[in-house]
Chain A
Amino acid sequence: MNEKRAPRINPALLVEGLGHAYGGHPSLDDIGFVVQPGGFTALLGLNGAGKTTLISCLIRLAGPWRGRVRICGVDPIVWPARAMAKIGVVFQEPTLDLDMTMAQNLGHHAALHGLSRAFAKARVEADLVSHGLARYADRKVRDLSFGIRRRAEVARALLHRPSLVMMDEATAGLDVPSRRALGNNLRRMCRHDGLAVLWATHAVDEVHVSHRLVVLHEGRQLATGKVGDVIKRTGRGSLRAAFSALTS
């Protein structure tokens, strides 16, 4: 027996039996799924399904919760700082500082993550170019359109090179080409860079056939797996029909 064992790779995100209550009422019940490195998982649910609550639990903005969570193998309860260093987040609501320029916002984020000033400056410049935002670098965020702000938030979430990025209704307010471009860009990063994505949305048309899927409804997980398998299990002809059947 001289076989070489393949190195064990931790999932980017492991969630097991996660439950949460708010104001005495259960808001999440027995949620469990895995996002592998390079994987794109869509968290699909209607408004009020518990998507934002779930993401808030995972990034330690909501609690207490029960269950088991590992971020790249790290327990966020025991090692919160290590876990948070591996995560990038785009929130549903705008979180840029309106009185700072776009470059300052990203530079501030880099400093919060401990990057040195010179390193951060070069990284911000390079990333703004790669996200097509270089010409807005020195503009106050207050003066920019919603779509540009949102793209800047995506660039910021990826600035510290996280292993896992969580997008909470990140396309809200974006036009169709921008939504498509954002999705395509992230899928490319999944393939080439091994980025893992958890993409929370209520829009069925944002779910790609190549994605894995978690369907949430009223705090419960109704389905999980490959998109095609979920459709097959419901016996419907499309994801829209399957989602409708699951949540009706």
Chain B
Amino acid sequence: MARGEPVNPSPEVAARLRCMAAIVSREVSRFIGQRARLMASIVRPLLWLAIFAAGFRATVGLTNVPPYPAAVAYEVYIVPGLVAMIQLFNGLQSSLSLVYDREMGTMKILLISPHPRWFLLACKLVAGTVVSILLVLVFLLAARLWAIEPPPLGYLLVLPVLLVCGLTFGALGLALSVVVSRIENFAGVMNFVIFPIFFASSALYPLAKIAESSTALHRICASNPFTHAVEAIRFALYGRIDGESLAVLLAFMAVFFAIAVWGYSPDRPLFNARRG
């Protein structure tokens, strides 16, 4: 058979799906293989729940905000924020691995495969999101030990919301990996990005409480996409859809992804060689 002829003719859609399945499966098995990262991803939010929330319960007291039908314990309030934190951490960590792959050269194999660049980036995004949803499900299961038991419908309704949040934070990570070219810088940027985003949100305290302290800070928190993720997750877990938050997240995702596609386009000097 002559070279260059299609040896395994298959429709383009099937080829694309196989490519995506391979990238997702690689990301999941790589994550499972990285036991320290796996443990850290689950233990970190559990520590917040077991220690931080227990300590803060006495200070903050019962919280009565939508969508909860009545005042809830602080542990219940904080769970959506911790779920979003898992996804934020994972989104940025997936992009960290992208920077690593870029430095190590393995990413070249991905980028020279016969698919559009935007599609390959979308595959990486989906792969990271799948991992983050698996982590969240493990966390929500563990949270039942602390009597965090949303209604069964909530577990179902939260899945599409987790998809949107995972894609948004993954896209943020992708966009950052365009700006930050070296892996040692990326770790610093992660801390610089994650903690302000996390603290300036409704993850740890209701926006109304923040407004009592500072109007300016309230404005910042209210416009933070992380706040929208936390609220979308909170509403979904209790059987309601927060359409406005989802719309904001989708808009942010589109912007971050557009930056990533621009940054990884062949006309950008991400891979410009400096050797022979």
* B272 and A113 within 8 A (CB): no
Segment among B44-52, B54-62, B104-112 that sits at the interface with chain A: B104-112
| Segment of A90-98, A128-136, A220-228 in the binding face | A90-98
Q: Is A236 an interface residue (CB 8 A)?
A: no
Whole-angstrom distance from the CB of B219 to the nearest CB of chain A? 41
| A-B interface pairs (CB < 8 A), number | 139
A93-B105, A162-B4, A194-B2 given as contacts; is B112 within 8 A of A49 (CB)?
A: no
Q: Contacts of B110 on A, CB cut-off 8 Å?
A: 112
- The reply to whether B109 and A95 contact each other, CB–CB distance below 8 Å, is yes
Decide if B21 is an interface residue (CB 8 Å cutoff).
yes
Q: Is B106 touching A82 in the complex (CB atoms < 8 A)?
A: no
Residue B144 is within 8 A (CB to CB) of chain A in the complex:
no
A179 interface residue per 8 A CB criterion: no
Q: Are B266 and A52 in contact (CB under 8 A)?
A: no
Interface size class of A (residues with CB under 8 A): 35 or more
Interface size on B, residues (CB 8 A): 43
Residue A204 is within 8 A (CB to CB) of chain B in the complex: no
Stretch at the interface among B9-17, B157-165, B252-260: B9-17
Is A19 in the interface zone, CB < 8 Å from B? Answer: no
Which of A53, A61, A123, A202 meets B266, CB within 8 Å? A61
B188 contacts which chain A residues (CB < 8 A)?
none
Q: Considering the complex, which residues of chain B in the window 247-276 have a beta carbon less than 8 Å from any beta carbon of chain A? A: 266-269, 271-276
Q: Which residue of A37, A91, A111 is within 8 Å of B19 (Cβ)?
A: A111
- The one of B26, B115, B271 in contact with A62, judged by C-beta atoms closer than 8 angstroms, is B271
A111 touches B18 (CB 8 A): yes
Set of chain A residues within 8 Å of B106, measured between Cβ atoms = 95-97
A195 proximal to B (CB < 8 A)? yes
Chain A 147-165 residues near chain B, CB threshold 8 A = 160-163
Given contacts A48-B276, A108-B22, contact A80 B7 (CB under 8 A): no
Q: Is the CB of B108 within 8 A of A61?
A: yes
| Bound: A85/B22 CA distance, A | 17
Instruction: Point out the residues of chain B lying under 8 angstroms from A92, CB to CB.
Output: 275-276
Instruction: Check B35 for interface membership: any CB of A closer than 8 A.
Output: no
Q: Are A60 and B266 in contact (CB under 8 A)?
A: yes
Most buried by A among B1, B7, B272: B272
Inter-subunit contact B274/A22 (CB<8 Å): yes
Nearest-neighbour CB distance to chain B for A45, whole angstroms, equals 6
Whether B8 is near chain A, meaning CB under 8 Å from some CB there, is yes
CA distance A27 to B275 in the complex (A): 11
Q: B3 touching A194 by the CB < 8 A rule?
A: yes
Task: Provide a sorted-by-A list of 28 A–B residue pairs whose CB atoms are within 8 angstroms.
Answer: A23-B269, A49-B276, A50-B276, A53-B273, A59-B112, A60-B266, A62-B266, A62-B273, A81-B114, A93-B105, A94-B105, A97-B26, A100-B26, A109-B109, A112-B19, A112-B109, A114-B12, A114-B15, A114-B18, A115-B7, A116-B8, A116-B18, A160-B7, A161-B1, A162-B3, A163-B3, A193-B2, A194-B3
Footprint of B on A, CB under 8 Å?
22-23, 27, 37, 45-53, 55-56, 59-64, 72, 80-82, 84-87, 89, 91-97, 99-100, 108-109, 111-117, 119, 123, 160-163, 169, 193-195, 200, 202
